[in-house]
Amino acid sequence: MMNGKLFCISGPSGVGKGTLVKELLRVDPTLALSVSCTTRAPRKGERDGVEYFFISREKFLETRDNGGFLEYDEHFGNFYGTPVDYVLDMMSNQKRSVLLEIDVVGALSVKERYADDPDVKVVTIFISPPTQAELESRLAHRGSEDAAQLGLRRERVQFELEMCAKYDYVVVNDDFNRALAELNDVIQQEKNK
Ligand code: 5GP
């Protein structure tokens, strides 16, 4: 049986990718979601092992130095990394496709890392807002960041939107159900290739 595929889903903060991914897992329960490690503090309501594994900086650097991350990056002063063991176990032993919800730099580096590996097929999908104005308003209303954090995140949005041309697919989150259906179609098609 073929290995599972590795789907990297990115998009600017506030675009709604978290909710899309959650629904996608309900629609296709064979998909496995990789939970990243981060050194940032949990936001209200976030649970260890669910949204992220919340770990110390020391532990993060130790894991990184031991080759424990498929990729990692630093955002807003905190580290984020994808645990390599989980991803490879799901794909090669359990034959399941894996979703990574990671930023643009991480996604493109995963794509590049496996570009010449016939056993690991990486598909990158960018979730884009219908307009930038709409995204700004969603970010401001989320209320989970202070003003300085929000400013940094806005600058980052600009950068991320410019990177979408490098993705295999771009799905516009204009209408939630439509976007979910399109995302699911892309994934089912790629899974069966
Ligand atoms: P947040 O703090 O809002 O949860 O995440 C900040 C950024 O980190 C988002 O763009 C998110 O996609 C990205 N991110 C989350 N996990 C990972 C990861 O494992 N690797 C990388 N490179 N980025 C991640």
Top-confidence residue, 64 or 154: 64
Q: What digits encode the pLDDT tens for the residues 97-120?
A: 999 999 899 999 999 999 999 889
Instruction: Give the pLDDT confidence score for residue 152 in this predicted structure.
Output: 79
CB 111 within 8 A of CB 146: no
Q: Does residue 89 surpass a pLDDT of 60? A: yes
- The 10 Å Cβ neighbour count of residue 4 is 22
pLDDT at 1: 47
Is residue 161 very low, low, confident or very high in pLDDT (cuts 50, 70, 90)?
A: confident
Distance 11 CA to ligand 1 centre (A): 10
* Contact assessment for residue 6 and residue 121, using Cβ atoms and an 8 Å cutoff: yes
Question: Is the minimum distance from the CB of 75 to ligand 1 under 6 angstroms?
Answer: yes
For domain 6-191, give the CATH number. 3.40.50.300
Rounded distance between C-alpha atoms, residue 183 and residue 180, angstroms: 5
CA of 79 to the centre of ligand 1 (A): 8
> Do residues 148 and 90 lie in contact, with contact meaning Cβ atoms separated by under 8 Å?
no
Count of CA atoms in the C-beta half-sphere (13 A) of 116: 0
What Å distances lie between residue 184 and 11, 32, 44, 96, 176, CA to CA?
16, 14, 29, 15, 12
pTM (2 d.p.) = 0.87
The predicted model gives 163-186 an average pLDDT of 95
**103 touches ligand 1 (CB under 6 Å):** yes
Convert the pLDDT of each residue in 4-61 to its tens digit. 999 999 998 788 899 999 999 999 999 999 999 999 999 999 999 999 999 999 999 9
Rounded mean pLDDT, 114-137: 88
Taking residues 136-148, what's their average pLDDT?
A: 73
Q: Domain-by-domain residue ranges, the chain?
A: 6-191
Q: Quick check: 160 pLDDT over 60? A: yes
Say if CB 71 and CB 113 are below 8 A apart. Answer: yes
